[in-house]
Amino acid sequence: MKSITSPQGQPAQTHSRNPWKWIPSLYFAEALPYVTVMTISTLMYERLGLSNAEIAFYTSWLYLPWVIKPVWSPLIDLAQSKRWWILCMELLVAIAIAGVAFTIPLPHFLIPTLACFWLMAFSSATHDIAADGFYMLALNPHEQALYVGIRSTFYRIATIAVGGLFTILAGLLETFTRRIAFSWSITFYALAAFFALIMAYHIFALPRPACDRTRRTESAAKLMKDFGLTFLSFFKKPQAFTAILFMLFYRLPEALLLRISNLFLIKPVSEGGLGLSTQEVGFVQSTVGVLGLTLGGIIGGIAASRDGLKKWLWPMVWSITLPDLVYVYMSYFQTQNFLLINALVFIEQFGYGFGFTAYMLYLIYYSRGEQQTSHYALCTAFMALSMMLPGMVAGDLQEAVGYFNFFLIVMACCAVTVGVAALLKIDPEFGKKEKEDATR
CATH number for the domain harbouring residue 97: 1.20.1250.20
Total domains in the chain come to 1
Tell me the CA distances in angstroms from 198 to 34, 106, 377, 403, one per residue in order. Answer: 15, 29, 23, 38
- Please say whether the beta carbons of 330 and 344 come within 8 A: yes
**Low-confidence spans in the chain with pLDDT less than 50:** 1-16, 433-440
DSSP letter, residue 8? T
Q: How far apart are CA 401 and CA 293, in angstroms?
A: 30
> Considering the domain boundaries, does residue 230 fall inside one?
no
- Could you tell me if residue 233 is inside a domain? no
- For helices 23-35 and 180-205, angle between their N-to-C axes, nearest 10 degrees: 150
Report yes or no on 421 lying in a domain: yes
What are the φ/ψ torsions at residue 22 (nearest 5 degrees)? -135, -25
- Number of Cβ within 10 Å of residue 289's Cβ equals 26
- What is the C-alpha separation between 46 and 56, in angstroms, rounded? 10
Range of the domain at 374: 19-207+241-435
The C-alpha atoms of residue 426 and residue 421 are separated, in whole angstroms, by: 11
Residue 214 lies in a domain: no
| CA 107 – CA 125 distance, rounded (Å) | 30
In a domain, 223, yes or no: no
- Residue 86: the pLDDT is 94
Task: Round to whole Å and give the CA distance between 177 and 21.
Answer: 39
pLDDT at 429: 59
> Distance (Å, rounded) from C-alpha 85 to C-alpha 91?
10
Taking Cα atoms as reference points, which of 422, 154, 152 lies closest to residue 314?
422
β-strand partners of 11: 5
Q: What's the rounded Cα separation, in Å, for the pair 214 and 77? A: 9
Asked, for residue 7, whether it belongs to a domain, the answer is no
Are 277 and 284 in contact, with CB atoms under 8 Å apart? no
Burial class (CB in 10 A: 0-12, 13-18, 19+), 176: exposed
Q: Is residue 131 part of a domain?
A: yes
> Is 190 inside any structural domain?
yes
Calculate ∠ Cα 416-252-244, nearest 5°.
75
> How high is the pLDDT of residue 3?
43
- Please give the Cα distance from 57 to 42 (Å, whole number): 10
